[in-house]
Structure 1
Amino acid sequence: MLKSVQECHRYSVHMAHKLAAWIIHIRGEQFVTSLENSAIGESVSDSFLNLTEFRGMMIDTLIPCLVFYLMIYDKEFFSKRVTHFDSIYASKKTAYDVLLDTIMSRGKAGDLYAFAGLSASGHERDLRTALYLSLIKCIDEGLLLLWYREVPT
């Protein structure tokens, strides 16, 4: 008997932490071969994100917490704040592609569009834009300070 997975604030915070660490690690790889890139994509999409549990992900918690953890752990975040999320539009597969694929496959695209303040279109480029705008809007220090106070311990 399958139980429905309920949305969970704590799981969203935990996943944001894991994603931030992974994004920083992958970006640190200077020379990733196409074979390594393929292996990274396969291993992450299959085992890193528990797809069943991702149904319980709360986009409006995940995105601000992801930015928060990137701010804390990424020593280059503030020096490259304006261009930090430009890799979302890169031609090479990045951690953000895995996140977008998971969001699409788990039916969370509508939540991402809503969080970004956009109307859902269904085009991949628009989903990338929704993720980009969502991440950028969370850089506002006031919003992140609010999230810092509310992150469960």
Structure 2
Amino acid sequence: MDSKVKIIMNLLRTSTLLNRVGLKLVEGTDLASVQQWQLLGIIDRNEGISLAKLCEETLVTKQNITGLVERLRKAGVITTWTDSNDKRITRVGITSKGKETMEEMKPRTEMSNNTTFADFSEEELDMFDNMLERLVTSLLLESNVKEGKKE
């Protein structure tokens, strides 16, 4: 089998397994999905982030981000407000309940990451991260070209 095909197949399998592991990690928390956890983490690191920037960070459509944000807001882990300088912009922040959820996730995440990456050296992890960043960039370019966008 062509190595490029093998890589794509392994990335798809990895995605499925990451979701499976992630679902186990969020069990018993205020989060219902890996996507909610990802979003909450981004919001936690970027207080007051706009919905547009969340879409850009997650590569998720505005419609999907709106639904995810609404579910997180109803769970009480985030809050939203209209930007005071531009009423068209909705901003998102984490609540104290959301911070508690992120604190609850830290030991779970650390343990899982240590197990997952136990067989990799720091040098290999850095190389792997670099390669994945390059792959994401390439896929974004390809995606934008096919959608008729310039970047």
The answer, yes or no, to whether TM exceeds 0.5 is: no
The answer to which structure, 1 or 2, has the higher relative contact order (CA under 8 A, 6+ apart) is 1
- Structure (1 or 2) with the larger CA radius of gyration: 2
TM-score, normalization: structure 2? 0.31
TM-score, normalization: structure 1? 0.31
